[in-house]
Structures are given as C-alpha cells and as structure tokens.
Amino acid sequence: MISKPRGTRDFTPEEMKKRRWLERKMRGVFERYGYEEIATPTIEHLELFTLKSGEGIIEETYAFEDKAGRKLALRPELTAPVMRFYVERFQMEAKPLKFYYFGNCFRYDRPQKGRYREFWQFGCELIGSDKPEAIAELISLAYNILRESGLRNVIVRVGNLDILRKFLDSIGARDAEIMRLIDKKDFEELQKRMGSEEFKKFEEFIGVKNIDEIEYEEAERMKEVFDFLEEFGIPYNLDLSIARGLDYYIGIVFEIDAPRLGAEKQLCGGGEYNLVPLLGGRKVATAGFAIGFDRTLLALEIEGAEFGEEEKPVYVAYMEGMIKEAIKIVKMLRQQGIKAEMDLMRRSISKSLDYANKKGIEKVIIVAPDEWKENMVIIKDMKSGEQKKIAIGEITKEIHS
C-alpha cells in the first residue's frame, strides 16, 4: 500500500465542507474591502525565493531541476510570486492596487500540530499607498477576516521595524543575526549575543506598551495609524518585539494570535516591505499579510465554532422500470438550483430509504408508476416518517416548506 507523503493530508468530504465554508467567508471579506483575486503558479524559479531570502531558504524549500536543467521550486510562500507578477504585468496600473489570493505552499519542515509540509494561505498585497489610513485599513481587514470567520478570541499586536532598528543602533546591537533571534523569540541566545546590560535595555524597550513613551520621529506616524485603527474599531496592542529577519521588511508590522492554540498561536503576520526593487521593478509602497488557513480552521474547531449548515440534497428513488422518469425529476430539480441525487445502484425502495437515512438526507422523492400516471410523485420526510403524494409542479415548493 502506498501512503501519502509525510506532512501532507487527505481531506474527507466533511472536512472539505468546513474548508470551503471558511474559504467563502474569507473571500467575502476581502472583496468587501475592494480586493481582487489573482493566482500565480505553484512552481516558480528558485531564484525568486533565494534572491529575497538568501541561500539558506533552500534547506526548507522543495527545490529541483526540470528536464532542461532549470532550477525550480514549489512555492514556500506567496508574496514573492505576487510581487514578481506585479513587476511583470501591473507596474503601470493606477494605484492603489489591491490583490488577494489563496493557495497551497510547501516547506520542508518538521511536521507538528498545526504545521504541515503542504499548507494553505490566504493573503493580500496593497500596492501604491503607505498612508497611515491605508495601513490601518489593512490591519482592519486582517482582523475582520478572522472575526467574521467566527473566531471569538484573537489578539492584534502591532510593532515598528524602523523604531526597533533605531533602538538597536542606539545600543550598538543591530545586525542580521540579532534581528533573526528577535524574530524567533530566542531571548536566551539573544542575551548571550547582546550582553547582559544591552539585553536589559532591550527588555525595557520591548516592555513599552504606550506609543507616547517612544521619542523617535517614526512614532508620530505610528500614532496616526493607531488613531485610524480606533476609527475602524480595531482593538490593538503595541508590541515592539515583532521583528523580521530580512532587511526588505520596513516600517509597521503586525501579527494576530489565537491564544487557544498555545505555542503555535500566530494566525496572521503582515506589514510593510520593500521587495519590488529586488525583483527589478521601480520602488513603490507595498504592504500585505498572510493568514494561515489551516491554523485558523484549527482555532475555530478548538473554540467550538459553528460551521455553516450545508444544504442537504434531495434523494430521488424509483420503482423498477421508472429510471427514465427519475432522471426527469432529478434533472428538473437541479435546473431549479436544488441539490439532488438519484439512486445509481438500482436498489429497491426500502434499500434506497436505508441509504438516504445513513446519509442524513431529509427528503426522498419516490417515483412510482401509479402516481406518475397522475403526474404526481411521493415525497417522504425522513425525520417524521410522513409521506404524501404531490404534483410534480409542486415539488420545489414542498421541498422548501
């Protein structure tokens, strides 16, 4: 027997109903904010990811050569492909551009709860505006996607990389490795690298919870963002410990957590960045975020969220010799927008009813010769057990009653 590869999953029909329900919810919020959906290839040139993240990313990337010797990769994330697409196709378009996307990504990582080698992300990019209200609206969008998905307990944390870098410069403790350690929250290793005195200053700095206590000029813009967040009705927390390990991230960054998930609690990460020039395009304001779709679904399940009720299909059973008449009924129902199945196993009526019961189907239409002559069918309510004859033209009305 061949099993699925490590770190991947199969999804049952019930799981797919939940996933599609959540997908529809999230898409609806993106589109209400004026974002338009785009899609990029699952495979990209490996250079797209090494160019922005360095050669180290190869270790956690599914990279390979094709038959012509080109170095390709299964995408480990979606921002770089979208920015590549923007540089190739959209640079001359009117700004701001608001793109959103949904797709699977791949990382050669150690699988654990809520972390897989194939995973799905919803994300978006706002291209062309870095105004405080634009960044506030972006954070508002991320928060409302999660809230409208049904999550009750989420925490928004907002930081600022320009302020963090200025502080680290002021204590002589800024380099790429320190930013990486802050990003990983590896404070034990950070203390060794900084030294005790500098680390103590760092702890005091990241403990600041009021932006008015920060004197750098970048704090003024952040205050404006916070003012607009309050206008949008978004609860937020100042968190100056948010870092990114790569230099092209700039300015305001944010993360959204679901505390019920424990150690792997982060659902969303985003902020401002300057990636376009790296990809050969003209400098432009860019910001965005990515939401971990799988982890959001897990958080909803832990909170005991109610997923939308799927409309149950109507089941069409038939007596011997009535198969063509049953097809006429099922075809009519589907044309009227009703989910309808018919018996495909040539079962007896009693076995068809047993099958419908096991599937949780609530209404069964029985096509029988005597009733058909009268232009009627039998409809059976599987919950109450009641059955009655009804005119074919009245079926839709009866189903919706």
Residue range 264-308, pLDDT digits in tens? 899 999 999 999 999 999 999 999 999 999 999 999 999 998 887
Tell me whether the CATH fold assigned to 13-302 matches the one assigned to 314-399: no
Residue range 169-201, pLDDT digits in tens? 999 988 888 998 999 899 999 999 999 999 999
Q: Rounded mean pLDDT of the chain? A: 94
CA-to-CA distance for 26 and 150, rounded, in angstroms? 11
Task: State which H helix or E strand residue 71 sits in.
Answer: strand 71-74
pTM score of the predicted model: 0.90
H-assigned helices in 54-131: 79-89
> Nearest to residue 21, comparing CAs of 293, 339, 336?
293
Decide if pLDDT at 114 tops 70.
no
Whole-angstrom CA distances from 178 to 159, 186, 188, 241, 382 are: 17, 10, 12, 12, 65
pLDDT tier, 52 (very low <50, low <70, confident <90, very high otherwise):
confident
pLDDT tier, 324 (very low <50, low <70, confident <90, very high otherwise):
very high
| C-alpha torsion sign, points 43, 49, 50, 51 | positive
Contacts of 368 (CB under 8 A, 6+ apart): 318, 319, 322, 377, 378
CA-to-CA distance for 173 and 27, rounded, in angstroms? 42
> Nearest to residue 90, comparing CAs of 40, 16, 165?
40
Decide if pLDDT at 372 tops 80.
yes
Question: Which CATH architecture best describes the domain 13-302?
Answer: 2-Layer Sandwich (3.30)
Confidence at residue 306, expressed as pLDDT on a 0 to 100 scale: 86
Q: How far is CA 189 from the centre of its chain?
A: 33
Decide if pLDDT at 113 tops 70.
no
Confidence at residue 267, expressed as pLDDT on a 0 to 100 scale: 97
* Phi, psi torsion values for 311, nearest 5 degrees: -65, 125
Decide if pLDDT at 54 tops 80.
no
Q: Specify the CATH number of the domain 314-399.
A: 3.40.50.800
Domain ranges in the chain are 13-302, 314-399
Is 375 in contact with 383 (CB distance < 8 Å)? Answer: no
Decide if pLDDT at 93 tops 80.
yes
